[in-house]
Amino acid sequence: MTVTGAIWRDQLTADERATLGRADNVAGGARPDVLVVGGGILGVSTAFACANAGFGDVLLIETGRLGAGATGGATGLLIPEPHQWSDPEPLVDLERAGLERWRDLEAALPGGVGLVELDWLGLAPHAGGFAAHQPRDIQWLNPGQVAELIPGLARPMEGALIHRQARVNPLRAVARLAARLPAVATGVAATSVEVSGDRVVRVGTSAGGISPGAVVFATGSPPVLDGLQLRVPSDRVKGHLLVTEATDVRLPGIVAPLATQIENRQLLAGGTFDIGDETPAVQPDVIDAIAAGLATVLPSLRGIGVAYQWCCFRPRHPDRRPVIDRVPGLANAWLTSGHFRTGILNAPATAALLARWIAAGVPPAEARSWSATRFAGH
Ligand SMILES: Cc1cc2nc3c(=O)[nH]c(=O)nc-3n(C[C@H](O)[C@H](O)[C@H](O)COP(=O)(O)OP(=O)(O)OC[C@H]3O[C@@H](n4cnc5c(N)ncnc54)[C@H](O)[C@@H]3O)c2cc1C
């Protein structure tokens, strides 16, 4: 039987599941030092970073449950190094900083955040398949070396091996961080903003008005709220994923573009880019194509059962880079959005940047790359 929904929730403990629905009482007229709107990985990480930066009173509100958006459907890969082939340098820097901070969190939090260290192996019919740019810390494997790591490939492949990448169950990471937040209110939506001069003086929510010292919008895509003048173009790109039934095929970590070895002898595959598909439903033909792709590369996977299938949407800006900025024209409101395909990876570094900015009042130098006003003319 195939479950339609992400595997991540089923891997959680009862306590972790309960944390995703944490619903502390929000007193009408609350005045937190920092209000974070949005309980995906960016919002939870930002609230955590602000609490650790010494803001005593940090409140996070989320309209559904924590991780209900893109976060809960992500693959959860933390792989900055392969992105050197695809992403601009400032983004790779952010991604690298993200993985380092995930490792810090894993070490610092009792019980960690569920980080799993693993290798990344990219397959290509020939080494030229990786283009001229040769990233650092790569070990090039000939077809014989690849076959030793992955016996039974349909045809000989060259490989690019990168050690010490990682992954998380994104919902576990959210739950572990959220359990340590001062205040979390799920089931509470921000609906409006009241501005006086250059300051947000009140955020209207489904639980009443909140008057924060500072507010961070981490709503995946830019927030659409009454009273908030914000023009940042964005769209979203759907992706499908599946988890196989248990198999004796064992992969040496993340094997691109094949699959990732996860717990219980299962494989996680997919991460399609279904441009133009705006429907929220899983498309069986896309799942079939992912499964067929597995068997094409590794014939022993032919006919493997699908245990979980799901889809979700990546929030994206036109240049595929995130926004991490103060809301233009406002002194005490910040925004992070459009983390597209690396939001889980980027989250702790983005959060640290925002916490520093809010505490100091001046933008850190690296914020320049992520401005909300760079889309003028779109
Ligand atoms: C198929 C797929 C695979 C992916 N794989 C990876 C991967 O391997 N590694 C990686 O790093 N990234 C990956 N991503 C990308 C990653 O999922 C996103 O970049 C990231 O989850 C974005 O997080 P977020 O917190 O910004 O948004 P979200 O997770 O969408 O969170 C935003 C939250 O804000 C809430 N919200 C919105 N409006 C309001 C409001 N008015 N009031 C209160 N709450 C509100 C929403 O309910 C939502 O929970 C993948 C994405 C997809 C779709």
Answer yes or no: is the C-beta of 314 below 6 A from any ligand 1 atom: yes
Answer yes or no: is the C-beta of 73 below 6 A from any ligand 1 atom: yes
Q: 161-189: per-residue pLDDT in tens?
A: 999 999 999 999 999 999 999 999 999 99
Distance between Cα 211 and ligand 1 center (Å): 25
Answer yes or no: is the C-beta of 190 below 6 A from any ligand 1 atom: yes
Strand order in the sheet with 190-196: 190-196, 199-205, 208-210
Distance between Cα 345 and ligand 1 center (Å): 11
**pLDDT of 133 above 70:** no
pLDDT class for 131, splitting at 50, 70, 90? low
Answer yes or no: is the C-beta of 322 below 6 A from any ligand 1 atom: no
**Overall pTM surpassing 0.95 (yes/no):** yes
- Choosing from 113, 262, 339, 354 the residue with most ligand 1 atoms within 8 A of its CB, the one to mutate for a pocket test is 339
Q: 247-284: per-residue pLDDT in tens?
A: 999 999 999 999 999 999 999 999 999 999 999 999 99
- Residue 289 φ/ψ, nearest 5 degrees: -65, -35
Task: Report pLDDT for 338.
Answer: 98
Answer yes or no: is the C-beta of 62 below 6 A from any ligand 1 atom: yes
pLDDT class for 325, splitting at 50, 70, 90? very high
Answer yes or no: is the C-beta of 75 below 6 A from any ligand 1 atom: yes
How is residue 84 annotated by DSSP? G
Distance between Cα 144 and ligand 1 center (Å): 40
- The backbone region for 93, taken as left when phi is positive above 0, alpha when psi lies in -120 to 50, beta otherwise, is alpha
Q: Looking at 10-19, 33-42, 135-144, 242-251, which range is the least confident one?
A: 135-144
Answer yes or no: is the C-beta of 40 below 6 A from any ligand 1 atom: yes
Residue 191, Cα to own-chain centre: how many angstroms?
A: 24
pLDDT class for 135, splitting at 50, 70, 90? low
Task: Report the nearest-CA residue for atom 3 of ligand 1.
Answer: 74
How is residue 300 annotated by DSSP? G
Task: Report pLDDT for 27.
Answer: 75
Q: 329-351: per-residue pLDDT in tens?
A: 999 999 999 999 999 999 999 99
Q: 76-91: per-residue pLDDT in tens?
A: 999 999 999 899 999 9
Q: 301-312: per-residue pLDDT in tens?
A: 999 999 999 999
CB atoms within 10 A of CB 346: 29
- Choosing from 314, 320, 345 the residue with most ligand 1 atoms within 8 A of its CB, the one to mutate for a pocket test is 314
The CA–CA distances, whole Å, from 189 to 48, 156, 204, 235, 371 equal: 20, 53, 9, 21, 25
Q: Looking at 140-154, 203-217, 364-378, which range is the least confident one?
A: 364-378
Is residue 30 packed enough to be buried (19+ CB in 10 Å), middle (13-18) or exposed (0-12)?
Answer: buried
